[in-house]
Structure 1
Amino acid sequence: MLPASSHISRHRHPVSRAALGTALLVGLVGLAVPAAPAAAAPTSAAATAVTLAASSQPTLRQGSRGAAVTTLQSRLTALRYDVGGVDGIFGPSTHHAVVAFQKVNGLVRDGIVGPRTWAALDRPVIPKPKYHHPGYSVEVNLTRQVLYLGRNGVVFRILDASSGTASTPTPTGNWTVQRRIDGWRQSDLGLLWRPNYFYRGYAVHGATSVPTYPASHGCVRVPVPAMDRLWATIRIGTPVHIYR
């Protein structure tokens, strides 16, 4: 564009509009066009979400290793799922974290991270606790088959869980942890790792088998390593809420 102070005298230099346009075009050839300023890089979880959406991710499952697994573990950790640590190895803890994520997001509970699970990681469901306590609390969503560790109205950690079958259901209600055993307990119905009893003989405990569906005799099972990581945050008197 010509400077605002310049003008063209039609009497002294008659020029046709076509000729003027040609002259301007020739004058502009060779001028560098400044590049548009780069957009600010997104931060934190937004950056991870953009990365997941913009790139083609491989299908991951238990036994996978590498940078894509590290990306997966970092994303799940940011979303509060219990992967046990970011190490680039898709082991049992990462598997259960993926299953828990699939449960919360209404996906097939196969523990395999394919296109649909990657897409959900980009726009995940963010669960909220139903109850607000100043300290830690335990909530078990029987419909989703997951355990939430809540604190101050925020879900602090999400664990894969398996509750009682239809014939031996887990009781719903509001209780507190009444008794704990730091170790294995041999019950009439099997071995319980570090059980936290909240109602009679019902407990939240670690187990070597945590299927994707209700499978216990009434207790709430979580993986043994997950119970080890959960153990220090639970105390006698910790609220326990079981609901559908």
Structure 2
Amino acid sequence: MRRTTTVRRTTTAGALALATVLAGCGATQGAREAGPAATQTVTAAPTTTTSSDTSEPAAEPTSDQPTTSAPSASPEATATATATATASTTPAAPTGTPSATPTGGATKDDEPDAEAETLRAGAKGPQVTKVQQQLVALGYWLGTPDGQYGSSTQQAVMALQKAAGIGRDGTLGPRTRKALAAGVRPAVRTTSGNAIEIDLKHQLLMVVEGGRLVNAFNTSTGSNGTYVSEGTTYRAYTPKGTFSVVRQIDGKRVSKLGELWRPKYFFQGWAFHGSNSIPGYPASHGCARLSNAAIDHLWSSGDAPAGRKVIVY
């Protein structure tokens, strides 16, 4: 079955710079359009083919601490659109477990704890269930608590670690337990209404409804390094500004820079999308990576519909 999303998008003349189009993870010819409102139909055939993520940067940062540097270019572009999409059943996501390997030099959070057992991927039981319930109560999405310390729980723990400013290894050790007990939650900037916020410093994507945090997800955005595509060198950055979801593809998108699972585009070729690699540091060509399970949730929950405001800072 083929799924089609039809989008009517209005762009502002001069806001789309051709030189930066390919900086997005999935830039397309449609992203280059400017001028009067245009109607675009995007069709994707969902597939279960597994493929490795090809958008890893050549070098990794040497620290797991929150990134403090920001892209040199900060477009203040605003994109708005209205869209209607046909209802669909969630397609099968590409297989694979999201990679959350910490970078070198990270402060591991797996030291022995005399009062509480250290929990990591593969653990199971009542302790895991309790931790999952605490994470969900604070807004860290992991699905339904099931007592299994799987990839979604690991991603939620990493999101907590990012919000707390501690080592990002996805393991629940002493420092992370303290952050959990203290009720650490990421701060949002939206005080009213609904929005998707992408916090580049803490590498978090957050769903805000009615000015309140609903869910926080681990994400990995532009590495701010350089890469070469078809003989031209580009900088891998995520643009700052206020945008909106202008189009979306309910399936796998294969671009020149890699694969994107169920992408939701918010500016030219930049999108937040599913991936099998969501490390604790900025690593993409510019898109905001989420786990496949996380992007599936955003589709099924309706928390990120076409037209939803997206704030990147």
**TM-score, normalised relative to structure 2:** 0.59
Q: Answer yes or no: is the 8 Å Cα contact 1:57–1:68 preserved in 2.
A: no
Higher RCO structure (Cα 8 Å, ≥6 apart): 2
Larger % of helix: which?
Answer: 1
- Indicate the residue corresponding to 1:166 in structure 2: 224
Q: Does 1:240 align with 2:306?
A: no
- Indicate the residue corresponding to 1:97 in structure 2: 156
2:285 aligned to 210, 217, 223, which one?
Answer: 217
Letter in 1 for 2:203: Q
Q: Answer yes or no: is the 8 Å Cα contact 1:128–1:153 preserved in 2.
A: no
Q: Answer yes or no: is the 8 Å Cα contact 1:105–1:124 preserved in 2.
A: no
Q: Does 1:191 align with 2:191?
A: no
| Structure 1: stretches of 5+ with no match in the other structure | 1-54
Q: Secondary structure at the match of 2:148?
A: coil
Larger Rg: 1
- Indicate the residue corresponding to 1:145 in structure 2: 203
Post-superposition offset of 1:126: 2.6
- Indicate the residue corresponding to 2:126 in structure 1: 67
In 1, Cα distance between equivalents of 2:146 and 2:270 = 35
- Indicate the residue corresponding to 1:128 in structure 2: 187
Q: Secondary structure at the match of 2:296?
A: helix
- Indicate the residue corresponding to 1:22 in structure 2: none
Q: Secondary structure at the match of 2:159?
A: helix
2:268 aligned to 200, 219, 239, which one?
Answer: 200
Q: Give runs of ≥4 in structure 1 deviating > 3 Å.
A: none
1:230 aligned to 277, 298, 308, which one?
Answer: 298
Q: Secondary structure at the match of 1:119?
A: helix
In 1, Cα distance between equivalents of 2:147 and 2:239 = 38
Letter in 2 for 1:105: A
Q: Answer yes or no: is the 8 Å Cα contact 2:190–2:212 preserved in 1.
A: no
Post-superposition offset of 1:137: 1.3
- Indicate the residue corresponding to 1:157 in structure 2: 215
Post-superposition offset of 1:129: 1.8
In 2, Cα distance between equivalents of 1:159 and 1:139 = 10
Q: Secondary structure at the match of 1:63?
A: coil
What is the RMSD of the two structures over their aligned residues, measured on CA atoms?
A: 1.2
Q: Answer yes or no: is the 8 Å Cα contact 1:162–1:216 preserved in 2.
A: yes
Post-superposition offset of 1:228: 0.5
Letter in 2 for 1:237: G
Post-superposition offset of 1:230: 1.1
Post-superposition offset of 1:84: 1.4
For residues 153-174 of structure 1, the C-alpha deviation after alignment (integer angstroms, 9 at most, x for no partner) is: 1010000000001120101110
